[in-house]
Structure 1
Amino acid sequence: MKFMSRRARRRTKRRSRIVRTAAWTAVAVFTAIAAGGGLVYVRLAGAHESPNVDAALGDDRPARTVAGALNVLLLGSDSRVGENGEYGKDLGDARSDTAMLVHLARGRSKAVVVSVPRDTMVDRPDCPLPGGGTSRAEGPVMFNTAYTVGGLICAVKTVEQLAGVRVDHVLDVDFTGFKKVVDAVGGVRISLDKPIHDPYSHLDLDSGSQRLNGEQALGLVRTRHGVGDGSDLGRIRLQQQFMTALATELKDASLLADPLKLYRLVNAVAGATTTDKQLSSPSALFGLAHSLTGLKPGDIDFRTLPVVPSPRDPNRVVVKQSEAALLWRAVNDDTAPPARQEQAQHG
């Protein structure tokens, strides 16, 4: 009986490790939803203060509608602080280089990811400032200025005003975190229809199937001049293609069979992500991770906010309200999004 007891304890410990590893894997797959420097991970050690978004915004917000559904705003910031300095001089005005609202359906069987072009002209609301006080409302201004003005809190408030949808959590990651996670998983294989040569993002890729390291992957999801008409819409399509490939890579990486590799993957980007205070606790992170264990790359429906060229500036876009309203309604009601519409080009 004593021997059986030890065996039972070993089985319990083994099951516990499997559950923990499955949770880490779920988080890793969830990170693949983010793009353009917008990769999210569960931190083993965080270096950033988690803002209390709920306390800052109060009760004047869209109501939560469908119990069990969850909306997470993923941001990829273009900060040049610290290790990110190699991508340009720190001018003290980081913006959200990428923004995606991830809707996790009730039951976590599906996810809808809505990319918001950073060039979208919006009316930015007044926002509480990190150092105290309130910024003034302004518009029309580019969507990504919200992050510059008031960080995560203002980004959340701007998205909620734009979409009429409650944002439950927010996560932000920088360039370095994105590169490290790609390298930690061993690179990502992607197939390109056309070669991409963009001196602005230092990208030089041939057409066809190839495995990208972290630096190449970052260049790919940041490039604008190397694809299409040079607009943010072309870049978003590349980002979504890459994130699907990354999700597949993570799923096929045998992470469950290699806990050390999984540990390195998660730890590789420690300190690069900021979350809201409500998501920063271990119980909240593991709860979210565990809920995503059944979500597969094919269950993620990538969309782009419907926009048209701005009549005031062809290099900017404005929301196509009729189509956007249907998309946001589906997110809010936790229903299937409407049929895809072709996006107009600009720039």
Structure 2
Amino acid sequence: MVKTAGVVAGCVLVLTGGGAAWAYWHLDHNIRGVDIDSALGDDRPPKPAPATPEPSATALPSATALPAGALNILVLGSDSRSGSKNSALGGGHSEGARSDTAMVVHLAADRSSATVVSIPRDTLVERPACPTSSGGTTQAAYGTMFNSAYSVGGPVCAVKTVEKLTGVRMDHYLEIDFSGFASVVDALGGVDVTTTEDIDDDLSHLQLDAGYHHLDGKQALAFARTRHGVGDGSDLGRIKLQQQLVKALVEKVSESDLLTNPARLYKVADALTGSLTTDTGLDSLGELQGLAGSLKGLSADEVKTVMMPVLPAPSDPNRVVADEPEAGKLWASLR
């Protein structure tokens, strides 16, 4: 989804060149920002020493300055229960949401490569006390499921829990909900995947024979949510599908010449920004454009997908815990 934000950069250029001020205003105001830095203050892993920005020959002329140095971005897919579109796609009917998909995206300083680390939602973790928007504080919890952090404290608590687990400071935060993900895939014209086994999951309502498939948005969402109809039925099997889908999306965005099709370009940008929640460092088109511009040369071949090393939890065979010291070594490589 970080790479997909590149469509926004292109959209800015098209709209600016055409003088479509209302469309620019609409896309810019679609994005919801959360001030995570202010909420968490200094109680966080330290920032790496800043790198000296290098001039970029491919920088977009109207973009803000390109981010310098390596970046770590927490990307969440939330199973939001709010809104009729999310409910129709399986978001349920209760209020609130959970982080069904969690990935730490590490972008190399020169943006030539990326590492995407999936964190299983069933991982038992220490959830720290988190500040709330009302001025209170959530209770700390031990041996609790990772995705409970978002449920009890939203994006701020999700970021703080990830930083507690990894020891890595999250430079940015991106979240997209059910309907937004499906709409982005549809706006791109679908996505291509190849399965190595049959998938038959009554809960995600996905049935696919082994082989090549072109998925629309609803099918791609079901693909990302499937766990019972593939592998051992665990969240670890679902993560493999999600990582496959990430690479397929990067390939789709890379091969789509959206700048020659303004109508499709705007549709993709509207779907993306309309479902996007970010930290306040990325909550404008200009800031997203700066990040996206630095990713123009990133290909699917240079995106490495891995999962945090885990072991079955001693207290519950249906849950997992970080496999140390291997997990710690992985996180240390991203600092």
TM-score normalised to the size of structure 1?
0.82
3-state SS, counterpart of residue 280 of structure 1:
coil
Aligned-pair CA distance for 1:25: 8.3
Give the direction of change, closer, same or farther, for the CA distance of 1:222–1:25 in structure 2 (3 Å limit).
farther
Aligned-pair CA distance for 1:79: 1.0
In the aligned structure 1, how far is the partner of 2:8 from the partner of 2:80?
32
Aligned counterpart, 1:127 = 130
Aligned counterpart, 2:44 = 61
Give the direction of change, closer, same or farther, for the CA distance of 1:252–1:48 in structure 2 (3 Å limit).
closer
Counterpart residue type for residue 292 of structure 1 = L
Alignment of 1:80 onto 2:66:
no
Larger radius of gyration: 1
3-state SS, counterpart of residue 331 of structure 1:
coil
Counterpart residue type for residue 84 of structure 1 = N
3-state SS, counterpart of residue 236 of structure 2:
helix
Gaps (5+ residues) in structure 2?
A: 1-5, 13-25, 52-68
3-state SS, counterpart of residue 34 of structure 2:
coil
Aligned-pair CA distance for 1:279: 1.2
In the aligned structure 2, how far is the partner of 1:223 from the partner of 1:188?
16
Aligned-pair CA distance for 1:117: 0.3
Aligned counterpart, 1:24 = 10
Aligned-pair CA distance for 1:93: 3.5
Over the aligned positions, Cα root-mean-square deviation in angstroms equals 1.8
Aligned counterpart, 2:147 = 144
Aligned counterpart, 1:104 = 107
Q: Is the 8 A contact 1:46 1:272 kept in 2?
A: no
Gaps (5+ residues) in structure 1?
A: 1-19, 27-42, 333-347
3-state SS, counterpart of residue 314 of structure 1:
strand
Moved more, 275-284 or 101-110: 275-284
3-state SS, counterpart of residue 200 of structure 2:
strand
Q: Is the 8 A contact 2:32 2:276 kept in 1?
A: no
Q: Is the 8 A contact 2:126 2:144 kept in 1?
A: yes
Q: Which deviations, in whole Å up to 9, do the C-alpha atoms of 1:131-157 show, x marking residues without a partner?
A: 220011111100000000110000000
Aligned-pair CA distance for 1:281: 2.7
3-state SS, counterpart of residue 50 of structure 1:
strand
In the aligned structure 2, how far is the partner of 1:297 from the partner of 1:100?
16
Percent sequence identity is 53
Counterpart residue type for residue 135 of structure 2 = G
3-state SS, counterpart of residue 288 of structure 2:
helix
Aligned counterpart, 2:296 = 293
In the aligned structure 2, how far is the partner of 1:248 from the partner of 1:59?
38
Q: Is the 8 A contact 2:27 2:285 kept in 1?
A: no
Aligned-pair CA distance for 1:48: 6.1
Q: Which deviations, in whole Å up to 9, do the C-alpha atoms of 1:228-251 show, x marking residues without a partner?
A: 111111000011111111211221
Counterpart residue type for residue 126 of structure 1 = A
Aligned-pair CA distance for 1:176: 0.3
Counterpart residue type for residue 74 of structure 1 = V
In the aligned structure 2, how far is the partner of 1:50 from the partner of 1:229?
38
Counterpart residue type for residue 225 of structure 1 = H
Counterpart residue type for residue 74 of structure 2 = L
Q: Which deviations, in whole Å up to 9, do the C-alpha atoms of 1:273-307 show, x marking residues without a partner?
A: 11111211333211111111111111111110000
Aligned counterpart, 1:30 = none
Moved more, 250-259 or 102-111: 250-259
Give the direction of change, closer, same or farther, for the CA distance of 1:282–1:25 in structure 2 (3 Å limit).
closer
Counterpart residue type for residue 44 of structure 2 = R
Aligned counterpart, 1:331 = 334
Aligned counterpart, 1:11 = none
Aligned-pair CA distance for 1:22: 8.7
Q: Is the 8 A contact 2:31 2:284 kept in 1?
A: no
Matches within 5 A, 1:1-347: 23-24=9-10, 44-47=27-30, 49-66=32-49, 67=51, 68-82=69-83, 83-86=85-88, 87-332=90-335
3-state SS, counterpart of residue 44 of structure 1:
helix
3-state SS, counterpart of residue 241 of structure 1:
helix
Aligned-pair CA distance for 1:168: 0.7
Aligned counterpart, 2:19 = none
Aligned length: 297
